[in-house]
Amino acid sequence: DVVLTQSPLSLPVTLGQPASISCRSSQSLAHSDGFTYLNWFHQRPGQSPRRLIYKVSNRDSGVPDRFSGSGSGSYFTLKINRVEAEDVGVYYCMQGTHWLPYTFGQGTKLEIK
């Protein structure tokens, strides 16, 4: 199974400051079809996950442009330009290139300082 390792696991951030989360894969997530199936999700306390980014860098509808995804191969990053209060929660990366099974990172908990 593909192992996704996120860092940091805890991320205290001051409002208005940038934040960055990395996701490292145990093997390349580049698929033979030319796409890289790496998603990012945000889960607020008590809510279900919401997809923010798909195929590395594509923002989902309604996701603010302060969120951006980048990376290739085995290294990926989620960046938030200026953190807002509504951004608190846990962020997960997930790979779909080498499913079965789909695998998720451990999660990164973002909190406001």
Partner 1 sequence: EVQLVESGGGLVQPGESLRLSCVGYGFTCSSYWMTWVRQAPGKGLEWVANIREDGSEKFYGDSVKGRFTISRDNAKNSVHLQMDSLRAEDTAVYYCAREPFDLWGRGTLVAVSS
Binding site for partner 1 (CB under 8 A): 39, 41, 47-51, 54, 60, 92, 94, 96, 99-107
- In angstroms, give the least distance from the CB of 49 to partner 1: 6
Using the minimum distance from each CB to partner 1, give the nearer residue, 75 or 107: 107
- Maximum CA pair distance of the chain? 42
- 65 within 8 A of 82, measured Cβ to Cβ: no
- In angstroms, give the least distance from the CB of 82 to partner 1: 25
CB atoms within 10 A of CB 45: 8
- In angstroms, give the least distance from the CB of 107 to partner 1: 5
Using the minimum distance from each CB to partner 1, give the nearer residue, 79 or 96: 96
Which candidate, 1, 93, 102, 101, places its Cα nearest to that of 43?
Answer: 93
- In angstroms, give the least distance from the CB of 54 to partner 1: 7
Using the minimum distance from each CB to partner 1, give the nearer residue, 81 or 96: 96
Cα pseudo-dihedral 105, 84, 54, 99, rounded to 10: 20
